[in-house]
C-alpha cells in the first residue's frame, strides 16, 4: 500500500532534512576548528585523551604544547631564583678617607770635613792610636750613619822635626791607622782613600817655633801634626 504525502508533509520533511544538514555541518566545522586549535587530542567532552603510559597525544595542530603536570609525569614546576640582593653603597661622606701618604725623603748631596788633632790621636813620634784618639774616631764614625758616603779622603800631616823622608813615612803610617780603625767600625774600605803629606803643608809659619827640639818647640808645632778627613756623599733629609 503506498502512502501518499501531501504538500505540507513534504515541505516539513525537507525542512527537517535541511536543519539536520546544517547542524551536522556546524558540528563538523566546530570539531575541525577545535582540532586545529588544540595541541593535544581531546574527546567529545573536552578532555585530553591519554595513552596507556599516562602521556598526552599531540595533534600536531596548534602551538607547541607547554610542559605541565597534566601531560608530563616528570614535570617539575619552575621556581624562580631569589632576587639578588643589592649591596648598599655608602655615600661619599661615609667612606673612610685614605691615609695621607708620607712625604718622600729628600736626598741631598753633602760634604763634611773634620780635622783631627794628631796629638789627640797619637803620641809624639808614634803611629799607634791613643784611647782618646779611638774615642774621637768613634764619634766621627757615628756621624756617618746619617750620610751615604761616596768618598772618604784621609790626609795625614807631620811637623818638621826629623828629616823629610821620615816625616813622610810617619804621616802615611798614621793615616793608614786611621783608615784601619774606621773600617773595623763598619766603614767600607773601598770608600776610604788615604794620603800622607809629611811636613810639606805646615799650619805654623816659618818664623814660628824656633830653636832646638824641646818640649816647648814640640808643643808649638802641635798644629802641624794633624789628620784631615773629608767625607763626600749624600744625606737623607726627612
Confirm if 178 and 137 have CB atoms less than 8 A apart: yes
For the chain, how far is it from start to end, CA to CA, in angstroms?
Answer: 141
| Nearest-angstrom CA–CA distance, 51 and 55 | 5
pLDDT at res. 80 = 73
With a pLDDT cut of 90, the percent of the chain lying above it is 23
Asked whether the predicted pLDDT for residue 170 surpasses 70, the reply is yes
Asked whether the predicted pLDDT for residue 4 surpasses 80, the reply is no
Rounded to the nearest 5°, which phi and psi values hold at 199?
A: -105, 15
66: which 3 cell numbers? 607547554
Tell me which of 48-52, 85-89, 234-238 is least confident.
48-52
pLDDT band at 178 (very low <50, low <70, confident <90, very high): very high
pLDDT at res. 223 = 85
In sequence order, what DSSP letters do the residues of the chain get, joined into one string? -PPP--HHHHHHHHHHHHHHHHHHHHHHHHHHHHHHH-SB-B-TTSPBPB-TTSPBPB-S-SSPPPP-TTT-TT-----PPPPPPPPPPPPGGGSPPPPPPPPPPEEEEEEEEEEEEHHHHB-TT--SBPHHHHHHHHHHHHHGGGEEEEEEEEEE---SSS-HHHHHHHHHHHHHHHHHHHHHTT--GGGEEEEE-TTSS-SS-TTSS-SSS-HHHHHHTGGGSEEEEEEEEEEEE-
pLDDT band at 66 (very low <50, low <70, confident <90, very high): low
Asked whether the predicted pLDDT for residue 51 surpasses 80, the reply is no
Asked whether the predicted pLDDT for residue 27 surpasses 70, the reply is no
Collect all residues with Cβ–Cβ distance below 8 Å to 201 and sequence separation of at least 6: 157
**pTM (two decimals):** 0.52
Collect all residues with Cβ–Cβ distance below 8 Å to 81 and sequence separation of at least 6: none
106-237: CATH architecture: 2-Layer Sandwich (3.30)
* Average pLDDT of the chain to the nearest whole number: 74
Residues 34-59 have a mean pLDDT of 60
- Which CA distances in Å does 190 have to 121, 129, 153, 180, 216? 23, 22, 11, 12, 40
pLDDT at res. 34 = 46
Residues 21-34 have a mean pLDDT of 40
Collect all residues with Cβ–Cβ distance below 8 Å to 10 and sequence separation of at least 6: none
Confirm if 229 and 116 have CB atoms less than 8 A apart: yes
- Residue with the bigger pLDDT between 3 and 152: it is 152
pLDDT digits (tens, 9 = 90+) for 118-166: 667 888 888 888 898 899 899 888 888 877 888 899 999 999 999 999 9
Residues 109-116 have a mean pLDDT of 66
Asked whether the predicted pLDDT for residue 235 surpasses 70, the reply is yes
Give the number of other CB atoms < 10 A from CB of residue 109.
9
Collect all residues with Cβ–Cβ distance below 8 Å to 223 and sequence separation of at least 6: 203, 204
Residues 40-49 have a mean pLDDT of 64
pLDDT at res. 25 = 41
Amino acid at each position: 500500500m503506498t502512502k501518499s504525502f501531501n504538500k505540507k508533509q513534504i515541505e516539513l520533511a525537507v525542512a527537517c532534512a535541511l536543519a539536520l544538514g546544517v547542524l551536522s555541518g556546524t558540528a563538523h566545522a566546530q570539531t575541525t576548528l577545535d582540532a586545529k586549535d588544540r595541541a593535544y587530542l581531546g574527546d567529545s567532552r573536552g578532555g585530553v585523551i591519554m595513552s596507556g603510559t599516562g602521556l598526552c597525544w599531540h595533534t600536531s595542530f596548534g602551538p607547541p604544547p607547554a610542559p605541565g603536570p597534566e601531560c608530563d609525569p616528570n614535570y617539575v614546576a619552575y621556581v624562580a631564583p631569589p632576587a639578588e640582593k643589592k649591596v648598599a653603597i655608602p655615600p661619599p661622606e661615609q667612606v673612610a678617607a685614605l691615609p695621607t701618604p708620607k712625604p718622600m725623603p729628600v736626598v741631598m748631596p753633602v760634604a763634611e770635613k773634620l780635622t783631627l788633632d794628631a796629638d789627640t790621636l797619637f803620641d809624639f813620634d808614634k803611629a799607634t792610636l791613643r784611647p782618646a784618639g779611638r774615642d774621637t774616631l768613634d764619634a766621627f764614625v757615628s756621624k756617618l750613619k746619617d750620610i751615604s758616603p761616596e768618598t772618604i779622603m784621609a790626609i795625614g800631616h807631620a811637623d818638621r822635626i826629623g828629616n823629610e823622608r821620615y816625616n813622610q813615612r810617619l804621616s802615611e803610617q798614621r793615616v793608614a791607622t786611621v783608615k784601619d780603625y774606621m773600617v773595623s767600625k763598619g766603614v767600607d774600605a773601598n770608600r776610604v782613600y788615604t794620603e800622607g803629606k809629611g811636613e810639606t803643608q805646615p799650619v805654623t809659619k816659618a818664623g814660628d817655633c824656633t830653636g832646638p827640639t824641646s818640649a816647648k818647640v814640640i808643643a808649638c808645632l802641635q798644629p802641624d801634626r794633624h789628620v784631615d778627613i773629608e767625607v763626600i756623599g749624600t744625606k737623607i733629609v726627612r
